Chain A
Amino acid sequence: MEKKVKIKINGKEFEVDSEKSILQAARENGIYIPAICYSDRFGAIGACRICAVEIAGMKKPMLSCAAKVKDGMEVTTNSPALDQLRREIIYEWDTFHPLQCGVCDKSGECELQNINYEFNITENPKEAQTDPLSIPQGTIHYEWKIIHHDANLCIQCRRCVAVCDKVVNFGILALVKKDGDRKEIDTKDGKPLDCEFCGQCVSVCPTGAMSSKLFKYKARAWEMEKVPTTCGFCSSGCQMDLNVKNNEILRVTSEEYTPNMANLCNLGRFNYSVSKSDRLIKDYSLNSKTLNQEAMLLELSQILKNTPKEKIFGISGARETHEDNLAFKMFFNNTLSNNNIDSLSSTHIGKLYKYLPQSVNTLYDFSDISDANLIICFGGDIANEMPRIDWSITRGAKLLKTSKVISAYWKDTKIDTLGSIPLRYEPGRELDFLTSFAFALKSEGYGAGLDGLDSLTGSEFDVSSIMEEVKKASNIAFIVCQEALERSNGEEIAKAVSNIALLLKDKIKVYASSKYNNAFGALYNNYGSSNEFSIQRLLEFAKEGKIETLILLNADLFSFLSDNEAKIVRDSVKNIVLFDTFESKTSLIANAIVPVPFFTSQSGTFINAEGRVNKINKAIECNVPCAWEFLFKLSTNLGYNLSSAKLQLKDKKITLNGPADKIYTINTNSSVKGDGEFVFIANYSKFRTSVYSGYGEGAKLAQSQSVLHISKEDAQRIGLNDGDIANIEANGASIALPVKIDEQMPKSVLAAQLWFENTNPYNITGGFNNLVRANLTKAQGGLK
């Protein structure tokens, strides 16, 4: 595919890929061309003009970021004329730039400072010609949330516009005309910024024009120590640097050489203050009595000794480090000699990888998504579930233009703006799409020779548009969203996905999304694989009195069960031992609480959705030992010495075990329970991956409470306006939520986001389910 061409740069000959721009070709070969607005993250903009080079035969200098290489091209990257041209541009910027470095947060890492230094600017002829009083005053957007924009500092490189459009695919920023000829960066509609608040614009801004309000005036760039670590909010495993000063995280940055290309979402970039939340658990406590570690160890070992071993159960929240997770498993398997454990990854990806055959269950890199010809995103709004996958899709479809996107979901989402082929099904009818797709594949002759092929049946769902693309594509990325797998018929969905994966065996790459940061680590540790206990049976076991002591490792009962169910568990279990970092509803009902450090305060590893083993490093001190250390001590007290050598993971990338190739028969019964006028769905917000993620400033400012998304038509009919409180009733329970009219919502569908403190949507759907038929009424007299 790739064609090579020969070009000469500064007299030296190089052979480069014909698709490359001159700037890329030069950089690959170690030749430096200055550039401000260009970045590999979003491609050429052509705004700064600093990267202009001379090409033999051309009268005028050309922009090297935009010009593609051609065979026989002769390029000069530096000459007196070019130097003069570049200086002119810098003079222009300097003329309007205020003398504010002393108070600007960007000082010390500012690219305008750097380029002034690089060119050693010692005069500014333009300045002399300009009356300082005539310099127009730019707008300072004090009213924006989280992000501060000062147009006076802007050099109009349009990086923020490019990153918002081509990476985040949100496109809210633009260079808009203000009074006179003047242009400024502002929102397209002129309203205060209301976006994903990912702060990508802050991270790309070469000057201090776009800055973080949360970091403002906290520290100078050079005062902070950068501690590289892995983000602990979702299973993307983005690499980032915690900027620490005086044992406090002041901001989060990321570098362009990371696999995530310096991209971070709201949670990663702005939610670091979770680490100093006042709801951190600091003390060991037993029945509300504070103990020291030794006393706690004694008390806990007494409790465990007094419980028959087969009556001790454990649930891992899939949020702790791989080490904690494995120690937990070892503690049960060796010390307690049982396997009564399961992790929260069993509620979603656990189902998929239970059925996905070994031959197609490889965990691929996210960068492969961008290179795929066809990206099928199924069952959820990926932008809300895992922004990093969303960016990979955007990169493939919008920037590299190598991929076509198909979005199979019940709602229009952001990726539909990428020119995707929309496949809309009714909520709860995921299987219609999947089985029809599998059937169509079979009819086209895919998977010939597989056993059980005849058992595949289709439905009336029209998949002709997708089939055309599949036939053309040689490389398909299939993304299964958490929302689909969390349905009560998630296992059937997993089987149907497995069938499709097997049919398209050689050209499909299956990805699964998870909001739990170490879900794949828990899966790798093989939780609950060979025992009768699974997390779905927790309630049943509790009711039957099989559980006497329940150990929760970073698992908040109220984040996967309804309040009622959690109370049943509480009432039927004698001891609840909670290992957790933050106070939650569960910590209020637990008998024993063992504090666990937050991921910023411990070293270890997380395993992300690519199967990559990512290192986390301790950035801030806390006086609490890691959960695995505590478990090891506890195990010693119980008379069994666990070996910490086994905790270490030597591989850089993990592989999962899976069953042999098999076509599954699928039970296509509808999963929608109950009766009611509306279908209610509990799905995800991009600002929460857990309840505690809302304890941080960034996420709280971006979205403070769960809201009810409703179509305009339905809202009008019931008489609801934005902000009104609505009651949703189902299963004999009800929740109250503020209303948000969402034009993309289909009729008769309601959706609310999980893991907010104002409500628990599981109250009406029930645990291990996120879909229910419900009734909606306007609340009288507001929220109680």
Chain B
Amino acid sequence: MNKTYVVENEREVIVNMGPQHPSTHGVLRFVVKLDGEKIVESDPDVGYLHRGFEKFAENMTYQQFMPFTDRLDYLASMNNNFAYAMAVEKLLGISSQIPKRAEYIRVIMAELGRIASHLVWLATHALDIGAMTVFLYCFREREYILDMYEMACGNRLTYNYIRIGGVARDLPDGFLDKLKEFVKLFPSKVKEYHTLLSKNRIWLKRTKGIGYISKQDAINWGIAGPCTRGSGIDWDLRRDMPYSVYPELDFEIPVYHNCDVYDRYLVRMDEMIQSNRILEQCIEKIPDGPVMMKDSPYVWDPKEDIMKKNYALMKHFVKVVQGIKAPPGETYFGAENPKGELGFYIYSNGEGVPYRMKIRSPSFINLSAMPVMLKGHYIADIISVIGSLDFVFGECDR
């Protein structure tokens, strides 16, 4: 950051892009050294949205931190809830005890979140490059998903729905019917997007061969998620380091090999279809039963017990006031989020609050590989590369 640029010949110009720029998707400052219109060097400057979440985590109980995860990648809050809950559950050693129904609900929410996140990506990406219609179509479908979220948890953006040990409440009546309708309809919508973009000449000109990052570079820079799969790396945590009920579900991992913006576009388009498949299977397979663990020292007792049983009331006070006492030790858990691998590293020394929490945010890491992708391209390509990396600054700056 804040590199000093030396202008080597008179044709070179240093341009400051952002931090306020309509297509930087948040507050990103980009310093680019140009030779004419060609990018010689570039340097992203981040941190404008830093809120100190990791430090916050050290001062609050494990449950209290859940709403903070909503505010990481706010386009996929459910996925963040899910990843954090699973990280804490891994630390507590209760991953295997989560009720099956809760696991299915979580996967439904996560896959809906993936579709919603990809829809926003597609909408804004296309808008940045000049295709406004796509934007309107995508947001139309996203509304449908947000309506479903609202049914389940009452919120449309920050959900705070998934809990350590399960989910906050069971799905409401009619939710699965609405989901069925969506799942039936959605593939035809994706087809519409394809007709609008995939063979559009302008779209191809702006994306094909742009933002190249080789397979090896992608590994070296540690980028994750759809961006790596667009560079020919067949890696998806849902399949390769399976968690929750993903092993019980059948889905494919789309991989493309041209390492450019267009291929990353195709990966995400295919992922939406795969998520839709997962949702189809979840509707079939979701069992009945409780949605929250019971009798565990790490989850809250049901309210009716707290009001009637003194031991439940006493335990509740300890859990709320002092926090659940996670066993001493450290853990890392990474989940496959729409943007890539979202990981939580938690160090516990046995107290009610974590001693240290580190968030591996995919946006931050994907963004840091941008200079590699931009070198030698034109300045206008910055926009399409930003679009293809799909980062969110709530998560990048934390």
Contact = CB atoms under 8 A, between A and B. Distances in A.
A291 B313 CA distance: 56
Given A101-B314, A110-B314, A112-B314, A117 B321 contact: no
Interface string B310-325: 1111110111011001
Most buried by B among A102, A122, A124, A221: A122
B314 A117 contact: yes
A530 to B, nearest CB: 54
Contacts of B312: 122
A120 B297 CA distance: 6
Contacts of A116: 311, 314-315, 318
Contacts of A122: 295, 311-312
Interface stretch (A92-100, A244-252, A278-286, A367-375): A92-100
Nearest to A207: B314
B309 interface: yes
A117 B310 contact: no
B311 A101 contact: no
Nearest to B316: A101
A222 interface: yes
Contacts of A90: 311
Contacts of B297: 117, 120
B310 A99 contact: yes
Contacts, number: 54
Contact of A108 (B309, B311, B322): B322
B290 to A, nearest CB: 15
A221 B309 CA distance: 22
A614 B314 CA distance: 38
Given A120-B295, A122-B295, A110 B317 contact: yes
A121 B319 CA distance: 13
B164 to A, nearest CB: 15
A108 B315 contact: no
A117 B297 CA distance: 7
A8 to B, nearest CB: 24
A627 B319 CA distance: 46
A120 B315 contact: yes
A744 interface: no
Interface residues of A, number: 22
Interface in B251-279: none
A107 interface: yes
A114 interface: yes
Given A120-B295, A120-B297, A108 B317 contact: yes
A76 interface: no
A617 interface: no
A113 B312 CA distance: 9
A108 B325 CA distance: 14
Given A124-B309, A221-B321, A113 B295 contact: no
Contact of A97 (B310, B318, B319): B310
A120 B317 CA distance: 13
A98 B325 CA distance: 25
A113 B315 contact: yes
B305 to A, nearest CB: 9
A657 B296 CA distance: 63
A121 B311 CA distance: 6
A110 B321 CA distance: 11
A116 B296 CA distance: 12
A98 B312 CA distance: 12
Contact of A117 (B308, B309, B319): B319
A117 B313 contact: no
Q: For chain B, what secondary structure do more than half of its interface residues adopt (helix, strand, loop), or is it mixed?
A: helix
Contact of B321 (A97, A107, A120): A107
Contacts of A121: 311, 315
Interface string B274-298: 0000000000000000000001110
A117 B295 contact: no
Contacts of B317: 101, 107-108, 110, 113
A120 to B, nearest CB: 4
Contacts of A221: 321
A98 B308 CA distance: 10
Interface string A114-136: 10110011101001000000000
Nearest to B301: A122
Contacts of B313: 99, 101-102
Nearest to B318: A117
Contacts of A113: 314-315, 317-318
Contacts of B319: 117
Contacts of A101: 310, 313-314, 317
Contacts of B314: 94, 97, 101, 110, 112-113, 116-117
A124 B311 contact: yes
A121 B313 CA distance: 11
Interface in B320-373: 321-322, 325
A127 B321 CA distance: 26
A600 to B, nearest CB: 25
A117 B317 CA distance: 9
Interface in A66-109: 90, 94, 97-99, 101-102, 107-108
Contacts of B321: 107-108, 221-222
B318 A98 contact: no
Interface string B232-252: 000000000000000000000
A94 B314 CA distance: 10
B334 to A, nearest CB: 30
Nearest to A222: B321
Nearest to B308: A99
A112 B313 CA distance: 11
A117 to B, nearest CB: 4
Nearest to A98: B310
A113 B317 CA distance: 7
Nearest to A108: B321
A97 B314 CA distance: 10
Contacts of A108: 317-318, 321-322
A586 B297 CA distance: 61
Contacts of A102: 313
A736 B331 CA distance: 74
B353 to A, nearest CB: 12
Nearest to B296: A120
A97 B322 CA distance: 21
Nearest to B321: A108
Most buried by B among A90, A94, A113, A221: A113
Nearest to A102: B313
Contacts of B296: 120
A101 B306 CA distance: 10
Most buried by A among B296, B297, B315, B322: B315
A510 to B, nearest CB: 44
A116 B312 CA distance: 8
Contacts of B325: 117
Interface in A118-165: 120-122, 124, 127
- Minimum-distance CB pairs A-B, first 3: A117-B318, A108-B321, A113-B314
Interface of B: 295-297, 308-315, 317-319, 321-322, 325
Given A90-B311, A107-B317, A107-B321, 10 more contacts: A101-B313, A110-B314, A113-B314, A116-B311, A116-B314, A117-B315, A121-B315, A122-B311, A221-B321, A222-B321
30 contacts: A90-B311, A94-B311, A97-B310, A99-B308, A101-B310, A101-B313, A102-B313, A107-B321, A108-B318, A108-B321, A108-B322, A110-B317, A113-B314, A113-B315, A113-B317, A114-B318, A114-B322, A116-B314, A117-B314, A117-B318, A117-B325, A120-B296, A120-B315, A121-B311, A121-B315, A122-B295, A122-B311, A122-B312, A124-B311, A221-B321
